[in-house]
Amino acid sequence: MAENNVAVIVFLIGEKRFCIDVHAVKSIIRLLPITNVPGAPKHVAGLINYKGEIIGVLDLVYLGIGEERHEPYSRIVIVELQGETFGFLVNSTQEVLTLPEETADNLRHLNLFTVGDLELTFLDLNQLLKDAALVNFFGEDGLR
């Protein structure tokens, strides 16, 4: 019986390596002009217009994840979760790792783990959505 695998994308925020399930990722794009949103929390970098869709972008540094350091290789990772589309700033994307499904499930619970010589933190997007209070910032129909 063939073992099921899970692909995760590895990216940097500051000096730390993080990963998320690749199935949540809609796109990874170069930095676009980000429009500030007056009165938005610090972790909301602003809004971008991506292919005609207005998308909120988070700066996870303000949620205590990583440290600020924008570089020429900085990207916006656009994800879809619970019917919401949002992006977050990363310093760079590095690689896609394929992990056995059982290993990936265990790693999600451990949060911090090592694959080979890489120390990774699994970024729980559901928790991120709660921590960032995006439920209050984005309504069911998008930006409130």
Q: 5-143, what's its fold?
A: OB fold (Dihydrolipoamide Acetyltransferase, E2P) (2.40.50)
User: Measured in Å, how far apart are the chain's first and last C-alpha atoms?
Assistant: 48
Q: The whole model's pTM is what?
A: 0.79
Closest of 104, 75, 105 to residue 89, by C-alpha: 75
Q: For the chain, what are the domain ranges? A: 5-143
Separation CA 5–CA 103 (nearest Å): 9
Identify the pLDDT of residue 116.
67
pLDDT tens per residue, range 64-105: 666 666 666 789 999 998 788 999 999 889 899 887 777 666
